[in-house]
Amino acid sequence: MSLYRMIYTSRPFGFDSGTLNGILVHAQQENARVGITGALICREDIYLQLLEGPEGEVKKTVERIKRDDRHLEVVVHVEKAVSERMFGKWAMLHDPAATWIWSRAEVTDDAVERATAAEVEGFFDKLCDAHNAPDIT
Ligand SMILES: Cc1cc2nc3c(=O)[nH]c(=O)nc-3n(C[C@H](O)[C@H](O)[C@H](O)COP(=O)(O)O)c2cc1C
């Protein structure tokens, strides 16, 4: 089975804890059913989401997500076949207010428009490393 990864950014519309919770609960249930894993970095000014899994399921899910009116300006930055998962333990890991992504000022200053695929994927590399770091004993 070929594994596929997609990463997009978008601008939240109507961001609050109830909305976010609804998105996450649905995402985790549905992703578990179709073999998708990934991570959603959420801040009131931006979403960054990585989805990985069977190619057809990832593409179908991203098409549905693009039509969702709880966010705007969906831009796909990374779309490629991969040999292994980054977030295999998580149907959808939730990361609030990550400090390793762009600052709010950078987002306002069009950082998303200037972003390279490597830069966006790098945010998820850091998140992945943070979650796979050994526990402090
Ligand atoms: C930021 C964001 C992330 C989402 N992530 C997922 C996801 O990982 N998996 C998923 O099935 N739906 C996700 N959704 C929800 C879908 O957009 C959609 O609402 C849901 O799949 C139901 O689609 P339907 O009403 O066309 O059946 C997300 C929505 C938003 C706004």
58-90 pLDDT, tens digit each: 999 999 999 999 999 999 999 999 999 999 999
Q: Which two tokens stand for residue 117?
A: 């695929």
Find the range with the poorest average confidence among 53-62, 71-80, 127-136.
127-136
Predicted model pTM: 0.95
The values of phi and psi at residue 84, to 5°, are -145, 160
Q: Could you give the domains of the chain?
A: 3-132 (3.30.70.100)
Looking only at the bridges linking them, the beta strands covering 37-43 and 46-54 are: antiparallel
Rounded Cα distance between 94 and 20, Å, is 10
Residue 137 has a pLDDT of: 66
* Interval between CA 12 and ligand 1 midpoint (Å): 13
Q: Which two tokens stand for residue 52?
A: 């990985």
Pocket of ligand 1 (CB under 6 A): 23, 26-27, 30-31, 40, 47, 49, 51, 61, 64-65, 68, 70-71, 92
Rounded Cα distance between 102 and 41, Å, is 11
Which of 68, 72, 90 is the pocket-test mutation for ligand 1 (most atoms within 8 Å of CB)?
68
Residue 97 has a pLDDT of: 65
Separate counts of helices (H) and strands (E) for the chain: 5, 5
Rounded Cα distance between 94 and 1, Å, is 26
Among protein residues, the one with the nearest Cα to ligand 1's atom 17 is 65
Which of 6, 61, 63, 76 is the pocket-test mutation for ligand 1 (most atoms within 8 Å of CB)?
61
Ligand 1, atom nearest to 70 Cα: 31
Residue 121 has a pLDDT of: 96
What residues contact 18, with CB distance under 8 A and at least 6 apart? none
Would you say 37 and 50 are in contact if contact means Cβ atoms under 8 Å apart?
no
How remote is the C-alpha of 120 from its chain's centroid? 10
Among protein residues, the one with the nearest Cα to ligand 1's atom 26 is 64
